[in-house]
Structures are given as C-alpha cells and as structure tokens.
Amino acid sequence: MPPKPRPLHLTSDHVARIPVIEDPGPPNYAFVRLATDADYDAEVERWISAAPGDDFWIFAYGSLIWNPATDTDAEKIAVARGWHRSFCLFDQRYRGNPKQPGLMLCLDRGGTCRGVAYRIPAARLRENLHKLIRREMSMVPSAFPARWIKVMTETGPLTTLAFIIDRRDQRYIGGLSLAERADQLAQAHGWKGSMAEYVLSTVTRLEELGIHDRNLWQIQRLVAERIEHHWPR
C-alpha cells in the first residue's frame, strides 16, 4: 500500500482566496488556429494507426491523474525515463489570464517522471480518444503533441501515449527557477480555476498514490507562501 500522504503546505483555504473569472475566449495567436472536428478525427486515427498493440495505454503525469477525461479499465504506476514533469506551458485562458498567465504541466525532456499508465477500454476506444483529444488539443498546431513513449511498470515495460511539450513552440517557457515558477503559479487564475488549485490537485493525488515529486513538493510550499502574501484573507 502507498504510504500515508504527508500534510501539504498548500490547502483548499489558499485556493479559495483566488477568484475565478469569466472566459476571455481563445487567445489571438498568429501562429495557431482553433482545432476543428476534422483535426480531431485525423489525430485520433493517427493515434490508433500507430498504436503498438491491442491494448491502448496513456501516461498520466498531471491533471489526467486526477481527472482522466476518459473511461479506463486498468492502471499501473509507471516510470518514464528521459522525461520530467514541468510547469512550462504558457496559459492565458484556462487557469491564467492575459494579465496573470499561468504555467501548465507538460512532460519535458530530461530526468525521470513517475506517473500512472491508464488503459482505455478497447470496446469504446474511439469514443474515449475523442473525449481526450477535445480536452487536450484546442489549438493547431498543438504545443504539446502526443507521442508514444516507453514506461516501466512493476509488471514490465509498456508503450504509452503521452503529451510532451514542443520546445520549439512559442508557448514553451523554459529556464525558470522553482521560485520563479511559484511566483507565476500563485497569482494565475482563469475561467477553469486557479493554477494553485491545479497544483494542489496534482500533488494531492500523487501523494495518495505514493509518488513523491521533489520539485512539485517544493513548488506547492512556495505557492502557499506567495498566496498568503498576494491574496491575504
């Protein structure tokens, strides 16, 4: 069994201090366009055609851990080597806004990431993949396109679909310290909620699973400290 989760510095009380705003609409980026049904159809078919076997697995490392967006019929703790979770995707709509942009989690190259591999039921594969793609890809080209990666589980290796940041994309934010990321995460909020809520949900679920991410643990403490300063009661 996973060890008992440790108490977090960041709490629901911190999250409750941060307002939720109305949807400002999609950002007016010159280098992307809104995804269409045709884009979604093509991407789902690309995933299915490239699948390595009869079982279809996805690798969850952030919000997909606590909000999978699809039906699943099996899960395994998994380790992705050569990748790490990082707040590196610029967001000024969902959990950020133009004045206080957020940083969403993506897989970035280097290091190691422990997460969860979920299997999507074969009988409802396309239905569930369409749910997934509509949540993960609102713009074309995507800043974090899906690709197949190898992960290791306690029962052996798996090939899973994972969403990985494209460092060439203009929305990629690299090179920030943990303190700089926390500065941004503590103030960002959008129509789907705050980045603080996103951090809290992710760390809470990881701790429940017995997954300790050292950087994320430090970030949740730093975010809590900054909220107490920026958003006093």
Which are the catalytic amino acids?
A: 136
CA 178, CA 157: separation in Å to the nearest integer? Answer: 31
User: Where are the alpha helices (H) located in 17-154, listed in sequence order?
Assistant: 37-50, 63-66, 125-136
List b or e across 28-51, with b for residues whose CB sees 16 or more CB atoms inside 10 angstroms: eeeebeebeeebbeebbeebeeee
Residues 6+ positions from 95 with CB-CB distance below 8 Å: 102, 104, 188, 189, 190, 192, 193, 194, 195, 197, 198
Q: Which among 107, 79, 103 is positioned nearest to 173, based on CA atoms?
A: 103
Q: Which among 34, 56, 54 is positioned nearest to 44, based on CA atoms?
A: 56
